[in-house]
Structures are given as structure tokens and as C-alpha cells.
Copies of this chain bind each other. A is one copy, B any other.
Amino acid sequence: MEKEKYTSGVLQYIPFFYVMWSDDLLSYSEISVVKKAIKQDDTLTKQDYNYLIKFLDRNTPPAYEELKHWKNVISNSKIKLIESDTYPLATFSQKMICHHFEDCPFNPYLKDIEINLGIQPNHYNHLFDIEIVKETTSDFYNATELDTLLKGEHAVVVDTFREVLRHPIFKWDIKRDKEEFRAHVLKQVEFLGEKGYGAMAFSEAYGGIDDMPAYAAVFENMMYVDGSMAIKFGVQFGLFGGSIQKLGTKIHHDAYLSDTGKAKLLGCFAMTETGHGSNVRGIKTTATYDAETDSIIIHTPGKNDNKEYIGNALHSTKASVFAQLIVDGKNHGVHAILVTIRDANHKLTPGVTIEDNGYKLGLNGVDNGKIWFNQVRVPRANLLNKYGDITPEGTYHSDIENPSKRFFTMLGTLVGGRICVARAGLGGAKKALAIAVKHALKRRQFNDSIKIQEDLLMDYPSHQLRLTPAIASCYVYDVTLTHMMKVYSDKTITDKRKIETQAAGLKSIVTWFANDTIQECREACGGKGYLLENQIADLKSDVDIFTTFEGDNHVLLQLAAKGVLSDFKSEFNSAGFSAVLKLLSSRLGDTLSTFNPVYTNNVDKDHLYSSKFHKDAFDYRTRRLTYTIAMRIRDYVKKGIPSYQAFLKVQTHLLALGKAYSIELAYTTFVDFTANIKDEKNKALFEKLGTLFALNELRKDASWFLEQGYISGSKSKAIRNRVERLSTELRPHIGALIDGFGIPDHCMAAPIAK
């Protein structure tokens, strides 16, 4: 066949073949897609088929001359490429045929290839010298549908709340002076309290709807207004209100819960101490029962034993104070006691000293302070006595006899706060991404001195790689945290230990993810991102502390890892720890025997995109890390090293396990969610997002998988390439993905995002 005289059958495939080969897009399963199409395509003669089939062998790619010729054929056609066509390349091909031949029907097989190979205009529009009718983003997906999927059962509550945010009180502005800022945030919190949002998690008797999951969903949306507002809200209603609700009993509920939910009673949550950051058990503040006066005396023994960093400390009249409860000379461990810290005139009560913590990197609208107590006396009834009480006779009583178990039961009630912090971090990441993407869809950047047309920032592969995997992660974490909160709030599940482990791990990885993402967005917007008016800077400074508060991430990850370890132990409790290790090791042995080259070298698209591969890999990582830690600890202990020291020695290993476990948890939760999406189009999109998340996570930890021999070098490269390619494939839909976060326009104040 002469090159210059292609039949219409062959000609229609030329743009496809050129795109596929010039970008080297073909793995074996992708070749089979094309083969299948040309086999079924009845517009092709036997001769056409033979001509085409010989270019579908990875071992003998078309010669450079062939490719150049194809390119000229395309370029000379002078057809415009319309990016907004539903199937731009198939349509382009059809037009080429129509240019040369009278008969030129739309070929459905071409459309199939275009869909199945995920070929996007941004893959190829620069390969031809043809005119391109560009658009910045596609409307193939409906952002409202994506938003609806994420909101799930909270759609009505969230949508209503987003409308509430139209009120002028939520209008964003730069605030530098902390007093002014705090006063404004206080007004916002009071406004939200009046509207009923503070009481959402309380029962109806106290003005609420008894819906903690809905509270969390709304909470994330507060980040779209301001970080300080969200955090002060969380302190007032979630921590202070939550302590009364969960640690107190009816007498406290009746007395305080309604007013707390309406923000008529402002309170703080006085747990952390200066000298004892993450060591709640070791706090020094004492609550000594004085039988004579039937009261409890709250006291700060040493200079550095003050309560530290207490949010709402400057506005509150009451505090839930965590202290060592001493009854009749005996310490019964940490309990919470309600203390009035200010009188009706907002004067400090006798014995209470409060100092402003001063300016912080962010969250300057939150009034953090230090609190000292000097022999402050409160009635016995102020003890929040759900898990431990002092009888009228002056003796201590608790239904939970084991002090350790009692302590962890009390603290377990705070797990909801960790999920909320993760949600708030996620909200920050989403907003930063929305700003960065909207900017990148407008901003043009020079490429080269010669080129006249400057490209959109969003069209750069490196820019796509910076932002797109993070967007996919937002979808995964959103679904995961919603699910987590649902399980946590499920009253039929009484043993919350598992969810505590999970919340600890997820809080860590999500808040770190949020920080990394916001930083990437700041840099992706260049100097514009550095201006406060563009809102990313505040998000960065506000979200920063999320990695540290409500539990330091390093501490929480170790907590999660220890949870995983003890799960393994208890799972095989009857058999003993060594039996567990043996079993686990034989299981890993099984897996290892599946490390045949066919698996470790499999770089085919169908394999790399299958959730089975991702799940297997994540599962292997978690189990392998669990096993090796257990082995190391056992080895140390056998050598006579105390187990506490052994744990210290495997600290970095524990952190790795905590992360691995949390990533796996997030991914499997997301896959389960996706499986239940009814609409096929959106389901396919969510699957793609899950794949991008999974491959990106595997890429980040590729060195570990390579070390284990779980993947080969070529597979590792293939994973990296697929991450880049998926990021590019999602480019046309990036606008829809960002809008799918549902951030109200009235919260997007950044000029660069307009």
C-alpha cells in the first residue's frame, strides 16, 4: 500500500496510532483493546486489517519514518481539533475521512479505543501542527453529583449550612490584631450556637439532633470560612460541651448542656499541661476531695504544671479541668471537674490565674491561654462523674475497677475530636487545592522564548503531578473519615478500641497530608500564593498545628501501631505470642512464594489498575511490618532488654507500621464505598481516583516494596509512569473534581481563584 494513498479504513486509525506510539502508551492489555477493535471493525478490509495489525507489536514498533509520515498526514489535513467534543480524537478522525472521502460515518470502535485507553486531548494536542480549539476544563462530569456522593446522608444538613455561610458575619477578611480577631470569631461562634449548630451532637432535650456524624460534616465546612472559627467552635461545643455530655451525668446535662450548645455558657477544656505535653496520665494538677466541706480542691502544684494552650481560656466562664482525683489520700487517676473560672462580671474567680498564650503562627482568632489554680474549691457535684464518682459518704466509686481501663475509657470519648481534626485538615487541603487549581486554569506561563502562545499552568505535566494525586487523596480521605465517624457514633458498637486505633492513625496521615498539600498549593501559586488575600497562607498557618494538637502525630502513629500489634496478639490469644508469630510468618511465606517474576514484573495496565493488586500490596506491607516488629521486639526481650526499651528501639519501625495500616484502611474503605456507587460514570471516575491514590502511595513507598522484592525495578517505574499518566488523564476533569468538593463560592474570597 502506498503511503500517500491510505484507504479510508486505514486513514481513520492514523491519528490513533500516531498518538499511541509517539507517547508510548501501550501496555499489553491496551494493545489487546486496539486489536479487539480492529478485529470487530467491519469498515476495514482484510488488507486494511493486515496493514494495521503489524503496528500492534511492542517488540517491533513503527519506524521513525513511518511515524513522521503519519504526523504529516495529520498535520496536512488542516482539520481543527475541538477539545470540547465528547470524543475529540474519534471525531477528529472522522473529519479527516470526510475531508478525503464522501462516505465518512462516525466509527464506534474508535470511540471505544479512545475511552478504554483514556486518551485525552492534552495527551496529544501538542503532537500535531494543527489548530486546537481549547477549553480549560470539561463538563463531562457533573460536579454537583460528585459533591452529592461525598455528602452522602448529610446532604441536607451540609447544604443548609453552606447557605447559612452566606451571612455577612462569615465574610473573610485579613485580621492581624488578635484582640479584634478573637472578638469577631467569638461572635461567629455565638451566631452558630444560636442557629443550633453547637448542639448538633447533643440529644433533642438539650437542643440537638443527636447526630455526631452530621456535626463532623458541618465542621469540615467551617474551614472554608476560617480556621480559627472552626477550632474555637470545636473547643466550645466538641471539647467543653463533649466533656459534659460524655463524662458528666444528667445533673450536669440539665444544668449546662443547653446553654453550652447555644454558646450562652462558654467553657474550655483544660487538659494539657506545660510540663506534660502528650502525657495526660502524668498531669500534675490535683483535685483533692475535702470531706469536711464536701468539696473538691483544685490545685496546680508546680510552676510548670499549669494548664497550657487552652482554647477559649480568655472568654470562658467555666472549665472542664482534668486533674488527679485524690479521695481520702488515695489517687484515683485523672478525672474531669467543672470549675467556674470567671464570675458574672467576667472577673477571674479567686485562686484562678490565666495568661494569654500570645501570638501564634496561625489560629490567632482562638484565645489560647495558660491556667493556674491555687486551692480552688468547687462542690463535689462538679465532678463529671459518669465513670468515677465520690459518694455522699465521701468514698470513691467507679464501675470500672481497673484504673487503667477507666482512664482509657474516659479518653476514648475524645476520639471523635481526632476525627474532627482530620476532617478540618481535609477541608483546608480541599480549599487550598480549589484555589490553586482555579488559578492554574487561568494563569498562563511562558515555556520558551520562541513560543507566542503561553500555556495554562494546569497544562504542565509537573503541575498536574503536583496537584492531581492530592485531589484523589482528598476524595479517598473524605469517604474514609465519613465512614469512620459513622462507626464511631454507632451506639451498637460498644468496644471502641479498634476505632481509637484507626482514628489515631488517620488523624496523623490526614493532617500531614493536609500540610503537604497546602504547601504544594502555596508553591504552585508562586508569589500570589504568598499573599494573605489569596487565602492559602492562612490555611497553611492554621492547619500546621493540626499535626501536633489532639495528640502529636508521632505519638498517635505509635499508638495505632501498638493497637495493630496487640490485635495480632489477642487474635491468637489462646495460642500465645510465639504461635502468632509462627502463623504470621508462614502466611508471609505463602505470600513470598507468590513473588514469582510474573507478578513482580507485571507492568500491564489491567494489573496495575486492579484494586486487588493495590489491596494485596497494602496488606502485605502491613503484615510484613507487623511481623518484623514483633520479631525484633521478641529478639530484644530475649536478650534481656526491658520491653519498654525494646519499643523505643523499634520506634521508627512503629511509625512506618502506623502509616501503612492507616493507608490500607483508607484505601479499602474507599474501594468498598466505590463498589456501591450506582451510577456507572461516576463509579468509573471514583475507581480512577482510587487507583491514582493507591499507585501514588505505592510510589511514595516504592523503596520499601523494592527492598522486599515485592515489585521489580521495571514495575516500580511503571507505577511512577502510571501516576503521571493518570494525573494527565484527569486534567480535563480537574475543574469538576475541585468543584465536587462543594466549597461555596461565597467562601472563595481569593482574587486568584475568581
Contact residues of A with B, CB < 8 Å? 21-23, 64, 67-68, 71-72, 126-127, 174, 176-178, 272, 276-279, 281-282, 308-309, 357-362, 404, 445-451, 454, 460-462, 465, 515, 519, 522-523, 526-527, 529-533, 537, 540-541, 544-545, 547-549, 552-554, 636, 638-642, 644-645, 648-649, 651-652, 655, 699, 702-703, 706-709, 713-714, 716-717, 724
Contact = CB atoms under 8 A, between A and B. Distances in A.
B531 A446 contact: no
Task: Give the interface centre of A540, A552, A713 by most chain B CB atoms within 10 Å.
Answer: A713
Given A359-B176, A531-B360, A639-B64, A645 B703 contact: no
A277 B358 contact: no
A709 B548 CA distance: 39
Contacts of A547: 523
B531 A638 contact: no
A68 B515 CA distance: 46
Contact of A541 (B71, B515, B541, B724): B541
A447 B548 contact: no
Given A537-B360, A709-B713, A67 B530 contact: no
B461 A649 contact: yes
Given A461-B648, A707-B717, A716-B707, A548 B526 contact: yes
> Which 3 A-B pairs give the minimum distances between C-beta atoms?
A279-B446, A361-B537, A707-B713
A554 B68 CA distance: 32
A662 B655 CA distance: 30
Contacts of A553: 523
Contact of A359 (B448, B527, B532, B549): B532
A358 B173 CA distance: 12
Contact of A522 (B544, B652, B713): B544
A58 to B, nearest CB: 15
Nearest to A636: B22
Contacts of A648: 126, 447, 460-461
Given A358-B533, A359-B531, A462 B713 contact: no
A42 to B, nearest CB: 31
Given A71-B639, A446-B279, A640-B67, A545 B530 contact: yes
A30 B308 CA distance: 48
Contacts of A359: 174, 176, 531-533
B526 A277 contact: yes
A337 to B, nearest CB: 21
Contact of A724 (B282, B526, B639, B652): B652
Contacts of A724: 652
Contacts of A523: 547-548, 553
A492 to B, nearest CB: 31
Given A462-B651, A530-B544, 15 more contacts: A67-B640, A126-B642, A176-B176, A276-B446, A282-B449, A308-B527, A357-B531, A361-B531, A361-B532, A448-B644, A450-B644, A530-B548, A537-B541, A652-B724, A707-B713
Nearest to A64: B638
A362 B362 CA distance: 12
A363 to B, nearest CB: 8
Contact of A703 (B64, B639, B652, B716): B716
A207 to B, nearest CB: 32
A176 B649 CA distance: 44
A366 to B, nearest CB: 11
A538 to B, nearest CB: 8
Contact of A68 (B71, B639, B706): B639
Contact of A640 (B71, B177, B530, B649): B71
A723 to B, nearest CB: 10
